[in-house]
Amino acid sequence: MKIIQFICSAASLFTMLTHAHQQSQPTGAIQMKDTIFREYDIRGKVDSELPINQAYDLGRAIAYYLRSQNPSCKTIAIGMDGRTHSLALKNELTRALNESGMNTVFVGTCPTPALYFSLFTGDDIDGGIMITASHNGPEYNGIKLCLGTRVVWGKELQKIKGLYKNKKHILSDTIGTASNAPIIPSYLAWLTNHFEHLKNIPVSCIIDCGNGAGGTVMPELVKQMGWKNVSLLYEEVDGTFPNHEADPTVEKNMRDVKKAVTSQSFDFGIGLDGDCDRMAPMTQHGELVSGDKLLALFAQTVLTEHPGAGIVFDIKSSSGLIELLEQWGAQPIMSPSGHSIIKDMMTKHGALLGGEISCHFFFKDRYFGYDDGIYAALRLIELLHTTQQPLSELLTIFPKKESSQEFRLFCSDEKKQDVIQAIKDALSQTNDVEISTIDGVRAVFPFGWGIVRASNTQAALSMRFESDTKEGLKKVIERFYALLANHLDAEDLKPLLSAQGIA
């Protein structure tokens, strides 16, 4: 009899975990688009691609996924940015997780790195959900998902897509709890404690929060650090982003910072992106600094303390960075672009530092190894204070290169992988080129190099070009233009030509 009861109990548990329920939906309800399940997160336009009334089913699919990966997964931290629909998404996801028998802890409106911080420092937290669309416009929203302290990405997100489409969920006879535990106070306490040596120093800087989640931290951080000469721009959290797109790596979004540093004599400027996992610096002369150049400065400091350390950089980075890392005796590690891949590569190689040209910086040296724009800003301030040199002077160590900006040319999500494959095929028939295909195509010619890859966050192709000379740079761009012209409209290619004076 006991054996029969045990078998029945086991069968009941199996049914709870595997039952597929077809929840009734209103006639004509918009389903979530397949394209929102991207490489590193779930992200799309609210209503047309990511309908709020489907967030409950998505949350149940997420709960099913988390429990299938870790049967003891019980408590999930949830954070959100200040977008106008983030609260509605949070409420639906919380309800879905709770009704799946999982507990939720709402850590508040906060930056993405603060949510990550809760995973590394909180008690009994088994995973995290950050509701954000990073730097995308106000019509977008999305989810960054973590299991334990690791980001869920790539094929795992595609599994969640399948679970959502099949209405998979956990049948639970208990309702989980929903509690609140704001993370910003402990996040601030950690930062101010670990940068105690920077308190009350004369920092002359302007920081643009871009109306993003940085506004939940920066005013109080500046106050607690006692920085009298630090000025904040657009620190009010406003999900409509009324002043500019919250992407500080784009020149036009840093116009107000440039005006301030050049007219008000700030020593440097900093821009934060919408969810604060990125920061971009600007010199006192108004030069916007790319992520690979700042990574070189960070690497030089880390290598002083840890000779031979592994430094991970993305495939779009300058060859000048590689030259410096080799010169300094580092272990240079080239990686596909993407914050999740960089973190995995750092773990695989035991690297202490990683970075992308897009200004994600990952410090395993004295930190947890995830991308945190606020922490990176503190490390920059520390570097400038320690060296007592302006940022522009420190950057003179970087080898002279003729480098283009990072271009993003429109290409539909359905088409961009086909374009990449066609370019691979064409270049493989060419004798004067060496190609790397770990992420798109990076082609090295005798006169320079270029890369084209599919953006993981936009319907776009991302590309960058570099040479030792202006003539070589022009030749690289012309070579790629000829390849792309077979697949993109001339109108979409215009920015590529006009920016280099080729048109």
Q: Which of 360, 442, 453, 464 is catalytic?
A: 360
Q: Is 19 a catalytic residue?
A: no
Q: In a 3-state reduction of DSSP, which class is residue 398?
A: coil
CA 475 to chain centre: 32
Measured distance CA(174)–CA(163) in Å, rounded? 22
For residues 99-132, one letter each, b for 16 or more C-beta atoms within 10 angstroms of the residue's C-beta and e for the rest, the string is bbbbbbbbbbbbbbbbbbbbbeebeebbbbbbbb
- Give the helix ranges, DSSP H, for 80-137: 86-99, 112-121
276 token code pair? 């604060």
Token pair, residue 335, equals 């990686």
Beta bridge partners of 335: 314
Catalytic residue among 86, 100, 118, 134: 134
Phi-psi category of residue 359: left, alpha or beta, with phi > 0 → left and psi -120 to 50 → alpha? left
Cα separations (Å) of 100 from 52, 173, 198? 19, 9, 46
Q: At what angle do helices 55-69 and 2-18 cross, to 10 degrees?
A: 130
8 Å CB contact between 360 and 342: yes
Q: Are 398 and 136 in contact (CB under 8 A)?
A: no
Nearest to 229 by CA among 262, 192, 201, 258: 201
Looking at residue 333, its amino acid is I
Distance CA 413, CA 431 (A): 31
- Cβ atoms of 345 and 351 closer than 8 Å: yes
Q: Annotated catalytic residue: which of 38, 43, 67, 244?
A: 43
24 carries an active-site annotation: no
134 is annotated as an active-site residue = yes
DSSP β-bridge partners for residue 129: 78, 145
Interatomic CA distance for residues 358 and 242, integer angstroms: 23
- Catalytic positions, please? 43, 134, 360
